[in-house]
Copies of this chain bind each other. A is one copy, B any other.
């Protein structure tokens, strides 16, 4: 099965993911050997961003250009959508899709990527739609785990911080549920806990998980057990006037020396960036910090993904 559109985590199975990883591996190998990368010469990608995201835009743009392809796009989502008031998403996708070979769509509405995929003459890659999903970022993380741990089966992972609103974590958890022997630990402020739908999904798929709220003690306990500590930023504006609450949680969910001491030697620290107080720069030098590798592997994965959806073989 070759996926034409990359819309949501649920559409993937382990085999498809493995195929995409092989594409990424081959791109990585070619780059490391210094081979020319003209695989996508003559192809054009459109960054169709109704919501701004410099990070996602940059990463796809670079991936495409590293492969010899070209990119069009608009960085300014609001302006774009206001100009095309009167133009439905469907008409815009049809129009842009008649110009280019692949579209990365970022939109403020859940389900937009699916709507786009239904009318688009070219592959759609979901670059984040509404609060729903951000599957490519999650595939990047999965690829990084696969490469650095030698596989995903049997991995134990703790997700910390803003679990309620992290699209990346949501998508990544859906992916993890496809593997066997996964153990998940959710640790967050109670008001930012993981949503029920996803926990139900895990229960249905018999994935082992636990939850912990507001507790520094639990965190120490969890830290000593897991293969991966996956951090996210706690948003200040979530707490409104309750600035003491913010200060309290910021303190609890920050990586400090005590936590570092409790982590095993082979535990990895991941973070999707941007970071806040939860991840002090002092941690950067710790050999267990792999968040800059996440970025590097992300580029290989995105290049592989582009070749994959465009049906271009990488040998």
On whether the beta carbons of A58 and B87 are closer than 8 Å, the reply is no
**Is A72 part of the binding interface, using a Cβ–Cβ cutoff of 8 Å?**
yes
Question: Do B62 and A44 touch across chains, with their CB atoms under 8 A apart?
Answer: yes
Asked whether A91 is an interface residue with its Cβ less than 8 Å from the other chain, the reply is yes
Taken together, the copies of this chain in the complex come to: 3
Contact with B along A278-315 (1 / 0, CB 8 A): 00010000000000100110010000000000000000
Q: Which of the listed residues A91, A296, A299 has the most CB atoms from chain B within 10 Å of its own CB?
A: A91
Is A171 in contact with chain B by the CB < 8 A criterion? Answer: no
A234 to chain B, nearest CB (A): 11
The answer on a CB contact under 8 Å between A273 and B95 is yes
What band does the interface of chain A fall in when counting residues whose beta carbon is under 8 Å from B? Answer: 35 or more
Q: Say yes or no: A273-B91 contact (C-beta < 8 A), given A36-B42, A58-B72, A76-B75.
A: yes
CA distance A54 to B46 in the complex (A): 12
A274 touches B74 (CB 8 A): no
Residues of A that sit less than 8 Å from B by CB: 36-37, 42, 44, 46, 52-55, 58-59, 61-62, 65-66, 70, 72, 74-76, 79-80, 83-84, 86-87, 90-91, 94-96, 98-100, 233, 273-276, 281, 292, 295-296, 299
